[in-house]
A and B are shown apart, each in its own frame.
Chain A
Amino acid sequence: MTTSPRLDFEALYDSTADLVFRVLGNMGVREDELDDALQDVFLVAHRRLDSFRGEARPSTWVTGIAVKVAHDYRRRRARKPSEPLEPHAEMLEEPSPGPDAHLMRHDGLRAVQGFLSQLSPTLVEVFVLSELEQQSGPEIAEALAVPLNTIYSRLRLARGQFERFVEKLDGSAS
């Protein structure tokens, strides 16, 4: 009989807090919600420590929780009557740079943020994990609990949109 490894919670926090923070921020959790969201992630992780089987890397496992928490925050925000609903994913047009195009050409982070803010949430997830966090397809599939082929097709779609976004950057800035 094999026993699953027991995660050290404190070590888990130390090794993944930055990752969680970045993932939450890139997936649309607002700055003023980031601290709460990060705590949520680790409280859930702590509660689920016993269910960690060691089949995925701890960082992948925590990333999966962070993605769901980020999703939860976005949804909760959309339910508040005082805040406008975010546009439905399917209603989003292809991202295109706005008046900041010139700045975006010289600031990759700004460009990516501008792009992500207009991208469908399902594509944001794979794009962030792949292109910013540089996680592999199988890792992303594990974290999101989505079939690998779906991950790859979403990634293709997101990359294509990013390329066109960048083309528009040049067009807008020239």
Chain B
Amino acid sequence: MKTTRPDELLADARARRAGLDPARRERLKRAVVAGVAASAGAAATASQAASLGGSWFGTVTAKVVLGLAAATVGSAATVGVLTASKRRAPVATPVVSAPTRALPSPAPVEAPAPAPPDVVAVPPVVEAPTSAAEPAVAPMAPVAPPSRITDVVSPAPAPIAPLTRVEDSATPDIEPSPVGKVAAARPIEPPAAPALTAQLAHLQQAMRFYESGDDPGALALLESWEKQFGYGTLHLEAKTLRLLVLCRLGRRDEAVALWAELERLAPGALKTPRLEQSCAAPEGRR
């Protein structure tokens, strides 16, 4: 039998590699350009984020995302501070730009101003980039309060062009193509996280329940959120809201456990008045 030669194997490996297919490359390019536009709008949106002071969710989101950034600063320092919500801005914006009760319309923005550091990751979530290069998206209609939880658990088909992982998640059981992929020998990976739009719509619905005083409804939605999205982009926001709901339901032990989990996942994310006054906060911080 012919002996295998390392250089021949390497040459074969190089020959078999494939790059991005053109459609995927263009789609990603549009997403990158839109992300760049969203980043450019970040400074301008900082003042808008500040105007969200009346919305606890806006504040919590800002702080939690800040916490996430802080938690990852060690690794992010090598590549610049990145947060998931920042890069997925183009996906998120259609939902948030739709009128909702929780998020007041932002005031008109004047010239871009430097963004305060504690809201740096928020703007893409609250403002639609206006770049012409952004993929054409239709704004998602406001979500009506569901009569059944399943109305929300199964997110409606998002009227947006697939941007990042949607296509991948559609074929989770298919053996991944061998395109430069180390993980081919690993077991089949779990399905990719759904798009941020679905996460956000689901979370906003839970927030509406919470704000309307329907704590059991909000909790059910948050539990289904976790089942569906796990450690999705907004998992810190979801856990934060669940902590507040648990407090209002008098389930302090669970809230305290969640506090500890949040502290572990995103140190610093809990430093908001709302959370520090919650039942889960350690005595010294209340």
Within A7-49, the residues touching B (CB, 8 Å) are 9-10, 13-14, 17-19, 21-23, 25-28, 30-33, 35-36, 38-40, 42-44, 46-48
How distant is the Cα of A22 from the Cα of B12 in the complex, in angstroms? 15
A44-B182 contact given A82-B230, A82-B231, A132-B17, CB 8 Å threshold: no
B13 touches A109 (CB 8 A): yes
Q: Which of A39, A76, A107, A169 has the most CB of B within 10 A?
A: A39
| A108 beta carbon closer than 8 Å to chain B | yes
Min CB distance, A93 to chain B, in Å?
15
B28 touches A44 (CB 8 A): no
Q: Which residues in B have their C-beta under 8 angstroms from that of A33?
A: 165, 192
Q: Residues on B close to A: CB < 8 A?
A: 1, 3-6, 8-17, 19-20, 24-25, 28-29, 31-33, 35-36, 39, 72, 75-76, 78-80, 82, 84, 86-88, 163-165, 168-169, 172, 176-186, 189, 191-193, 230-231
B164 touches A108 (CB 8 A): no
A100-B19 contact given A17-B25, A32-B165, A68-B78, CB 8 Å threshold: no
| Interface-side segment among A52-60, A111-119, A135-143, A148-156 | A111-119
A108 touches B80 (CB 8 A): no
* Pick from A31, A132, A163, A169: contact of B13, CB under 8 Å: A132
B231 touches A163 (CB 8 A): no
A–B Cβ pairs within 8 angstroms, 20 of them = A17-B28, A19-B19, A22-B19, A31-B189, A36-B84, A43-B32, A44-B80, A44-B82, A69-B79, A75-B75, A108-B14, A112-B10, A113-B181, A113-B185, A117-B182, A132-B10, A132-B13, A132-B180, A166-B4, A166-B9
B31 touches A39 (CB 8 A): yes
A108 touches B9 (CB 8 A): yes
Name which residue of chain B comes closest to A133, CB basis: B14
Min CB distance, B281 to chain A, in Å?
23
* Pick from B3, B72, B76, B164: contact of A170, CB under 8 Å: B3
A109 touches B189 (CB 8 A): no
* Pick from B8, B9, B164: contact of A39, CB under 8 Å: B164
Q: Which residues in B have their C-beta under 8 angstroms from that of A25?
A: 179-182
Q: Which residues in A have their C-beta under 8 angstroms from that of B24?
A: 35
